[in-house]
Amino acid sequence: MLTLAISEISEDSWIQWYCSIRGHEFFCEVDYGFIEDSFNLYGLPNLQYSSEALDNILDILPDDFDEKFPPESQERLLIESTSEELYGLIHVRYILTEAGLEDMMAKYGESDFGDCPRLHCERQPMLPVALSDVIGEATVKNYCPRCRVMYNPSKEKQRHIDGAFFGKTFVNLFLMTYLMHEELGALPLHVFDYTPTIFGYTIHQSSPFWGAKLYDIDEFENSNDEKDEQGLPLAASVSEPTPPESKC
């Protein structure tokens, strides 16, 4: 996980700074009101220095913070690392709210999550997706709702972001919420072949979101290999989730 010193933060808020870091294009800016509501933080893991990290995210650090936690100290580095992890855990909850879905829809419309590399998808905007809701099990992936293929992000720095900061529910809920939206168009809206759930509840198999294939294609090329009826390489293989880069 990326860790930068708090002293390097610009005059922007911590959230603005964090979301503007190169490689963090997938993150949206969580509303302050959402973070300040203790109900939305209920059940989050008890992280080391979580209280200081939350103050850091909300830009309410005390005046004696630098004196108590000197820059480059081990404690300071832990606070910075915890701030990033805590924001990710808050972020995955926020993007499932009405406001969060709208923010992600705006980013989807701007192709902030990247475009599908397949020629026949005609630069279809993709969505961030997770293979696991557990931190440390898999990095974030790109999912194309048109060809129903999952890709590694095109930018190297995006490939180290923990997928748990976006979760398995988001893609399902997003596509169901905006099923008829003009930005999505007439797409075969299916999600890959893990059991699709929303808030832990399994989606019934009669849903159009059930039963698509899962591919993890790092570099998609228009080869002469045999293709299936959707134009996907028959040799495309499913790979194991890639663990996120370890934290400092």
Cβ contact 45:89 at 8 Å: yes
Rounded distance between C-alpha atoms, residue 92 and residue 160, angstroms: 16
Mean pLDDT confidence for 171-184: 73
Structure tokens at 219: 């570099």
Residue 205: pLDDT band by 50, 70, 90 thresholds? Answer: low
* Distance, C-alpha 80 to centroid of its chain: 19
What is this structure's pTM? 0.75
Q: What value does the mean pLDDT take over residues 142-150?
A: 84
Domains of the chain, earliest start first: 6-94 (1.10.1820.10), 114-217 (2.20.25.20)
> At a CB cut-off of 8 Å and minimum separation 6, what does 173 contact?
96, 101, 198
Answer whether residue 248 shows pLDDT above 80: no
Rg of the chain over Cα atoms, rounded to whole angstroms, equals: 19
Mean pLDDT of all residues in 161-173: 91
pLDDT value of residue 67: 85
Residue matched to tokens 């893609």? 171
Task: Identify which of 14, 166, 164 has the alpha carbon closest to the alpha carbon of residue 80.
Answer: 14
Contact 202, 196 (CB under 8 A): yes
